[in-house]
Structures are given as structure tokens and as C-alpha cells.
Amino acid sequence: MSEYSGVRGTVWFRAFTGHASPMIGDPKSVLTRDAPLGSDHARFLCVVPDPYARFPCVRHGEVGLEEGYTLAARVREVIEHDKNTIKRPIIAIVDVKSQAYGRREETAAIFLAAAAAADAYGSARLAGHPVIALVVGHALSGAFLTHGYQANRILAFDDDGVMIHAMHKEAAARVTRRSVDELDKLAKQIAPMSYDIRDYAKLGLLYKLLRVENPEEPSQQEIRSVQGELVGAIADARTSPVDLRNRLESKEAREMRKASILVRTKLEAQWLEN
């Protein structure tokens, strides 16, 4: 399993936009830039580590108060700007270690900062903006709910350094009172528990798994290829409903989320009765 390195976000943000900087007035942990993507002018967003962050608990790439509200503001800007015109794509480049674990964060309601970002991303999607998440590294728990999980389409690299999960393995083992070995064994039979991105792909939530030789040093050709995939995802999103039903309707979901589909079918039938 991979350690969070905190470099991939910056690498790919720079690859797509030619820069790696926050907008004026924003904390250094949130990179925002508009750049061409296919025939669109997309907004790219990324959360990266800032070792000099004001809040001590976000200095290793955690998503905290400032990050949540900054993402919210930069996404809302796009919604407001494009109100009466073409809805630009919004691309979340995701490599986030976790949410911030701090007393200040809890006191100042980090749950609301996270919700504000998710609100902005989800509202953009509902307004017709294609929102695409590209998971280039880690996408954990509250951090992913904040930045990326409201996307129309999620893409990820097929790489050992990519991990989407609810909790880091050691902590998960502690909470569920199992050993890490036991968790690994369970994960082999129970795909939703796995830390392997290929098992995540079986759940039907991903639009595509992309093969990249070295995600920390991509070649120009690879960058162009990934851009092409983003363009494809944008087009796919534009010709689909703005909700998240694709996550349940995918071929993989019909295999791995049978219980979800059963719930939906039965609930609808009972809702209409009487």
C-alpha cells in the first residue's frame, strides 16, 4: 500500500495548466487556474500540502477550514460567471491525505467548510457544469467528500500509489478491532473494503481507470493522453443527466451493488402503494 507523497497533485496541475500556484489571496494549499482543455476553457482545482499553513493541523496536505471555503469560493465563481453562458468544465485533481484532525477545526466547524465545498461542486454539477474528478494519488474519506466526490465522472490512475478509501489501514484495523493482516484477508473477498484501486474499480463508481507509467513524472505524450480522457469524460457528462445515477447504472454496479439496486426498486414500489 502506498504512502501519501503529496507531490502528484502539483505535478498534474502543472501538467494541465503550466502553473502551480494559488489565486491571489488564497492559501497556498489550494491551486486554482483556468486553462484550455479540448475546446473548453476549464477550471482546474487541486489541494496540495502547505508546510507553512496557518492552521497547524493541515501542514501535511490535509483538507481543512481554509481549503474547504477556498474550494467553495473558486467553484462558485465559475457558476456565477457562467450563469447565462456555456457551462465550463470543472476539474478536481485529487491527491488528498485526509481531512484535518484538529481541535481548532472541530471548534470552527470543519464539517461546514467541507460541506460548503461539496455544495459548490454539487451545485455546479446540477447547474450543468461537467465536474470531473481525476484521482492521481490518495482520495480519503472526508477529504474526498469535500474535493472530488460530487463529480459527474471520476477517473483514477491504475497505480499502487492511488488509493480511495474511508480510513487508513492502521486506523481502520484499530477501530474494527482486527489486525492489519486480517483486514487484508477480508479485503480479498470483500471488494468494498479493499485498498487496491482495481478492486475499487469493480464497484462501478469509476468512469475509467487510466494506465500511466510513472504518475510522478509523466511524459508529454501521457499528459496529452490523460487530457484526451478528461475531454471524453466531459463529453460523456454533457450528454447525461446531472445526477449521480450513472454510479448505479454502470455495468460493474449491476454486479457489485445488487443490494443498492434492490433497495431502490423495492422502495419505489412501496412508496407508491396505498
Partner 1 sequence: MSNNGHGASFINRQSFIELDARERATALFDPGTSRELLGPFDRVESPWLPMQGITPQADDGCVVMKGKIAGQAAVVVALEGAFQGGSMGEVSGEKMTAALDLACADNEQGIPTSAVILLETGGVRLQEANLGLAAIAELMASILALRKHAPVICLMAGTVGCFGGMSLAAGLASYIVMTREARLGMNGPEVIEQENGVEEFDSSDRALVWAIHGGEQRYATGLADALVNDDTPQVADAIRSFVSKGVPPVHRSSQGVLYRNRIDALHTSQQWDPKEFRALWTTTGS
Residues 188-217 that bind partner 1 (CB under 8 A): 189-194, 200, 203, 205
Q: Which is nearer to partner 1, 222 or 249 (CB)?
A: 249
Kindly state the DSSP code that residue 40 receives in the 8-state scheme. Answer: E
Q: Which is nearer to partner 1, 20 or 248 (CB)?
A: 248
Q: Looking at residues 34 to 63 of the shown chain, list those that interact with partner 1 (rule: CB under 8 A).
A: 54-57
Least separation in angstroms between residue 79's CB and partner 1 is 10
φ, ψ of residue 47 in degrees (nearest 5): -105, 130
Least separation in angstroms between residue 219's CB and partner 1 is 31
Determine, following the binding rule CB under 8 A, whether residue 96 of this chain makes contact with partner 1: no
Q: Residue 181's CB: how many other CB atoms inside 10 A?
A: 9
Least separation in angstroms between residue 164's CB and partner 1 is 7
Determine, following the binding rule CB under 8 A, whether residue 254 of this chain makes contact with partner 1: no
Least separation in angstroms between residue 100's CB and partner 1 is 8
Q: Which stretch binds partner 1 (CB under 8 A): 29-37, 72-80, 88-96, 229-237?
A: 72-80
Q: Which stretch binds partner 1 (CB under 8 A): 10-18, 85-93, 115-123, 225-233?
A: 115-123
Determine, following the binding rule CB under 8 A, whether residue 116 of this chain makes contact with partner 1: yes
- Distances in Å between the alpha carbon of 193 and those of 76, 161, 173, 174? 34, 17, 11, 15
Determine, following the binding rule CB under 8 A, whether residue 181 of this chain makes contact with partner 1: no
Nearest Cα to 131, choosing from 171, 165, 161, 92? 92
Amino acid in the structure at residue 25: G
Least separation in angstroms between residue 158's CB and partner 1 is 16
Determine, following the binding rule CB under 8 A, whether residue 23 of this chain makes contact with partner 1: no
Determine, following the binding rule CB under 8 A, whether residue 1 of this chain makes contact with partner 1: no
Integer Cα distance of 234 and 89 in angstroms: 7
Contact 75, 132 (CB under 8 A): no
Q: What would the x/- binding string for partner 1 be over residues 126 to 165, using CB under 8 A? A: x--------------xx-xxx--xx-------------xx
Query: Which of 14, 59, 104, 208 touches partner 1 by CB under 8 A?
Result: 104
Helices (H), the chain: 8-17, 65-81, 103-107, 110-126, 141-146, 169-175, 180-189, 197-201, 220-238, 246-249, 251-256, 258-272
Integer Cα distance of 91 and 186 in angstroms: 34
- Measured at the CA of 19, the angle between CA 149 and CA 8, to 5 degrees, comes to 50
Terminal Cα distance for the chain, rounded: 52
Query: Which of 7, 78, 113, 155 touches partner 1 by CB under 8 A?
Result: 113
Least separation in angstroms between residue 108's CB and partner 1 is 6
